[in-house]
Amino acid sequence: MTEGLKKIKIEVKNKKQNQMRKAEVVIIGGSAAGMVAALTGKSTWPEKSFILVKKQKEMMVPCGIPYIFGTLENSQQNIMPVDHMLEKAGIQSVVSTVTSINKKEKTIQLADGENISYDKLVIATGSTPVKPRWLNNADVENVFVIPKDKPYLDSMIDKLSRCRKVAVIGAGFIGVEFSDELNKRGLEVTLVEKLPNILSMAFDVELASRIDSILRDRGVKIVTNNGIRSIIGEKIVRGILLENGDTIDSDAVILSMGYVPNTDLARDSGIFIDEGGFIAVDEYMRTHEPDIFAVGDCAQKRDFVTRKRVPTMLASTACAEARVAGINLFNINVVKTFSGTIGIYSTAIGNTGFGTAGLTESRAIEEGIAIISGAFEGVDRHPGNLPDAHKQLVKLIAAKYSGVIIGGEVIGGLSAGELTNVIGLIIENRMTVNSLLTSQIGTHPCLTASPAGYPLIKAAEIIAAKMRQ
């Protein structure tokens, strides 16, 4: 850069620093949490002015990312129409990075030096993928993490198109979805998991092993009970070394080993961060600082049942938290607080859907909760000879003495996702086995299981029978 150009840049920055835009509400981050906080806030407080600052112009649908590697043609098909929705709602959007928050002056500063003042601030800076420091050679070519960043993902698609074998490390939902999608693209995929089963944080072993078989039948190789020790290759990936000394040849490695909250901005601005690295919040999503809220992956989480802090990061939770913050920005408008993370996940492999909500049986036992579980397998159409019929297995977990439902798991057709949401509502509303037994369930031959053999109710019946013993 010439001296002249440098001087002009500094002058522009200084000029911007003296400028001050104003908004009554400022939101930092334009993904799930930021966007929903802005839209809910504006519809609750339409007379207030809103500005949302986001780092990227084009935002990916985060949960759609695995599908740009197989089912979708390209990443452009996975763009969230954030700007359109904000504009329609009368919210100004600014593409920039927030570099600091001045809590005393109630201003934020952008990368170009511009300041924006606020009455209420919502931090929704999300999370970033983990690349463990202990992992040798993690910086060689063709080692990938999965950020929600379009240019990075586009380059990853391009590099993977020249690979034949890929190792995916970590068999949570994201690792499983990536393995299946890359397998669809024709890559030879090995999914590596340190724990004894895939998806073992989400499903009890009898369900996890069914998912394992489905994935293997589709051609994905699965290694469990064996973590990665290091990456082989000095400049570019040649393979991986496992904890038991085995090696696996691969041209690329995808690390799907979790996410950490992105809280540097909040920490550097003196906002209280908890021991797990999340921004501490109360049940209205308020931080320790007056007029500053935090929502989404960057905000502290508590398990709905155990009340323990948990690192669960989900778009569904992020959006629920964002709605609570948006509604209550200027006062406790609706006495609605965020009552804890239930952890509702679902996914699909081919035409089989899986979902889980609340605690698994094994987790409940680990937590010392006395439970009774019941599982029932039926068919999601009646009669089962109708087109698209699929077996549907529902497992429910209830607290032994109260009968309150605290968890549920589903394997079925593609309706499994919505059925899992129903279980999530059952947990959130603290319904008991008895109230489920007397619930009215709408059914139709082409859409649902039979009313006489509805797996959700039958699973509750099994628990009720065990409770009477």
Ligand X SMILES: Cc1cc2nc3c(=O)[nH]c(=O)nc-3n(C[C@H](O)[C@H](O)[C@H](O)COP(=O)(O)OP(=O)(O)OC[C@H]3O[C@@H](n4cnc5c(N)ncnc54)[C@H](O)[C@@H]3O)c2cc1C
Q: Between residues 37 and 457, which has the closer beta carbon with respect to ligand X?
A: 37
Q: Which CB sits closer to ligand X, 105 or 246?
A: 105
Q: Give whichever of 32 and 232 is closer to ligand X, judged by the CB atom.
A: 32
Dihedral through CA 26, CA 27, CA 28, CA 32, nearest 10?
-170
Q: Are 168 and 191 in contact (CB under 8 A)?
A: yes
Of residues 101 and 456, the one with the C-beta less far from ligand X: 101
Compute the distance between CA of residue 338 and CA of residue 360 in angstroms, rounded to an integer.
Answer: 22
The rounded distance, in Å, linking the Cα atoms of 107 and 239 is 49
Smallest distance from ligand X to CB 194, Å: 20
- Between 198 and 436, whose beta carbon lies closer to ligand X? 198
Find the shortest distance in angstroms from Cβ 425 to ligand X. Answer: 16
Show the CA angle centred on residue 236, arms to residues 233 and 240, nearest 5°.
45
Q: How far is the CB of 115 from ligand X (least distance, A)?
A: 14
Cβ atoms of 208 and 216 closer than 8 Å: no
Minimum distance, C-beta of residue 210 to ligand X, in the bound complex (Å): 20
Q: Which amino acid is at 374?
A: G
Least separation, in Å, of the C-beta of 373 and ligand X?
Answer: 24
Which of 27, 242 has the CB closer to ligand X? Answer: 27
Find the radius of gyration of the CA atoms of the chain.
24
Is residue 70 within 8 Å of residue 349, measured between CB atoms? no
Please state the closest distance from residue 312 (CB atom) to ligand X, in A: 9
- CA–CA dist 469, 466 (Å, integer): 5
φ, ψ for residue 121, nearest 5 deg: -125, 135
To ligand X, the closest distance from the beta carbon of 286 in angstroms equals 17
Q: Which is nearer to ligand X, 38 or 167 (CB)?
A: 38
DSSP string, 18-80: H-EEE-SEEEE--SHHHHHHHHHHHHHSTTS-EEEEES-SSEE-GGGGGGGGTTSS-GGGGEE
Residue 129: CB minimum distance to ligand X, A? 7
**Which CB, 52 or 460, lies closer to ligand X?**
52
Q: Are 378 and 396 contacting, i.e. CB atoms less than 8 angstroms apart?
A: no
Residues that bind ligand X (CB under 6 A): 28-34, 53-56, 62-63, 65-66, 97-98, 124-127, 146, 148, 174, 262, 265, 296-297, 313-316, 318
Q: What is the DSSP letter of 341?
A: B
